[in-house]
């Protein structure tokens, strides 16, 4: 394809992606009420169990509409993901070999479910964080959560936990690219366990030991699964090199 044809193809894919995002935003805007009710449930729980004033606040005339638009955009991105991801894939796929297509689909097939699983775990953890932080409010003070800040906090926490669940797939990808060996990943298990435990301790209330252990356990299991898969890939590469008459300990530059 010529440069002009590439640009026309890119514009076509971009327009379809934008249309999908717009449709997703419209659907998301319609269902913002139950979503707002869901994410503000921790605030209601804190208010019911506290003598202090606890409420979600809007600090400007347009804040309620702005919040719904922010929610519509972020949720619309998720709802329209099959559309825009397929458009990206359709644009780059002609330039990939059959082997690259197979591996790319494999990595995406593993990363997407893990990411959404992490986001779901985030919805279980965030309420505990909000309730825990409210316990540090001095007596006589109030907890007035600005709607924009509150939604950003909930959304970013879900993203962070979702990305944390995808990190093992990244480790496997680095191994596949020859940057990290399975042995190197496995040797770092102590640091991985420490990081997972610290992250889980920060993301869950101090008194909720069960939630902390469950989150840390899931992250550690994913890490060891990535290490195990990387070791299998290294073993497979080594066998191929030996079969080809190469010395796997001294690869050709």
Q: Is 144 helix (H, G, I), strand (E, B) or coil?
A: strand
Chain mean pLDDT for the chain: 81
**Distance (Å, whole) CA 152 – CA 252:** 50
Question: What tokens does 2 get?
Answer: 């010529």
The pLDDT, as a whole number, for residue 52 is 73
In this predicted model, which residue has the larger pLDDT, 163 or 224?
Answer: 224
- Beta-carbon contacts of residue 1 (< 8 Å; ≥ 6 apart): 9, 94
The pLDDT, as a whole number, for residue 22 is 93
**Mean pLDDT across the stretch 154-180?**
81
End-to-end CA distance of the chain: 33
Q: What angle do CA 150, 151, 154 make, to 5 degrees?
A: 90
**Mean pLDDT across the stretch 223-239?**
85
Query: Model-level pTM?
Result: 0.71
Is it the case that residue 250 has pLDDT exceeding 90? no
**Mean pLDDT across the stretch 40-64?**
83
**Residue 204 pLDDT grade (very low, low, confident, very high; cuts 50, 70, 90):** low
The fraction of the chain above a pLDDT of 70, given in percent, is 90
In this predicted model, which residue has the larger pLDDT, 251 or 124?
Answer: 124
Question: What tokens does 134 get?
Answer: 């409210």
* Residue boundaries of the structural domains of the chain: 3-243
In this predicted model, which residue has the larger pLDDT, 45 or 21?
Answer: 21
Sign of the torsion angle spanned by Cα atoms 102, 107, 112, 114 = positive
Q: Is 195 exposed, middle or buried (0-12, 13-18, 19+ CB in 10 A)?
A: middle
Q: Is 152 helix (H, G, I), strand (E, B) or coil?
A: helix
The pLDDT, as a whole number, for residue 253 is 42
DSSP 68-133: HHHHHHHHHHHHTHHHHHHHHHHHHGGGS-HHHHHHHHHHHHHHHHHHHHHHHHHHHHHHHHHHHH
CB 93, CB 27: distance < 8 Å: no
DSSP H helices, the chain, are 3-30, 32-39, 41-48, 63-79, 81-92, 98-134, 147-176, 182-187, 189-203, 209-243
Cα 167 to chain centroid, rounded: 9
Is it the case that residue 199 has pLDDT exceeding 50? yes
The pLDDT, as a whole number, for residue 40 is 87
Is it the case that residue 70 has pLDDT exceeding 50? yes
Question: What tokens does 3 get?
Answer: 């440069």
**Distance (Å, whole) CA 113 – CA 201:** 24
The pLDDT, as a whole number, for residue 252 is 47
Is it the case that residue 23 has pLDDT exceeding 90? yes
**Distance (Å, whole) CA 106 – CA 99:** 11
**Residue 149 pLDDT grade (very low, low, confident, very high; cuts 50, 70, 90):** confident
**Distance (Å, whole) CA 70 – CA 188:** 39
The pLDDT, as a whole number, for residue 55 is 84
The pLDDT, as a whole number, for residue 247 is 56
Query: Among candidates 133, 136, 142, 148, which has minimal Cα distance to 203?
Result: 133
For 181-197, what is each residue's pLDDT tens digit?
A: 888 888 888 888 888 88
**Distance (Å, whole) CA 198 – CA 202:** 6
Is it the case that residue 87 has pLDDT exceeding 70? yes
For 93-139, what is each residue's pLDDT tens digit?
A: 776 677 767 777 777 788 888 888 888 888 887 887 787 778 788 87
């Amino acid at each position: 394809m010529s440069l002009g044809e590439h640009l026309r193809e890119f514009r076509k894919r971009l327009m379809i992606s934008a249309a999908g995002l717009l449709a997703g935003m419209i659907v998301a805007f319609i269902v913002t009420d139950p979503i707002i009710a869901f994410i503000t449930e921790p605030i209601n729980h804190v208010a019911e169990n506290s003598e202090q004033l606890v409420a979600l606040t809007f600090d400007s005339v347009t804040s309620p509409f702005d919040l719904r638009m922010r929610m519509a955009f972020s949720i619309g991105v998720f709802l329209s993901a099959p559309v825009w991801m397929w458009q990206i894939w359709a644009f780059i796929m002609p330039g990939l070999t059959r082997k690259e297509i197979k591996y790319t689909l494999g990595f995406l097939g593993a990363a997407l479910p893990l990411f959404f699983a992490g986001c779901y775990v985030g919805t279980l953890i965030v309420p505990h964080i909000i309730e825990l932080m409210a316990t540090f409010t001095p007596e006589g003070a109030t907890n007035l959560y600005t709607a924009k800040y509150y939604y950003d906090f909930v959304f970013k926490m879900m993203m962070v936990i979702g990305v944390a669940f995808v990190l093992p797939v990244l480790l496997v990808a680095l191994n596949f690219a020859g940057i990290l060996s399975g042995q190197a990943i496995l040797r770092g298990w102590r640091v991985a366990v420490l990081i997972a435990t610290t992250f889980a301790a920060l993301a869950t209330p101090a008194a909720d030991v069960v939630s902390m252990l469950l989150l840390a356990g899931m992250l550690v299991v994913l890490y060891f699964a990535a290490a195990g898969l990387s070791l299998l890939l290294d073993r497979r590469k080594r066998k191929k090199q030996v079969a080809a008459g190469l010395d796997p300990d001294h690869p050709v530059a």
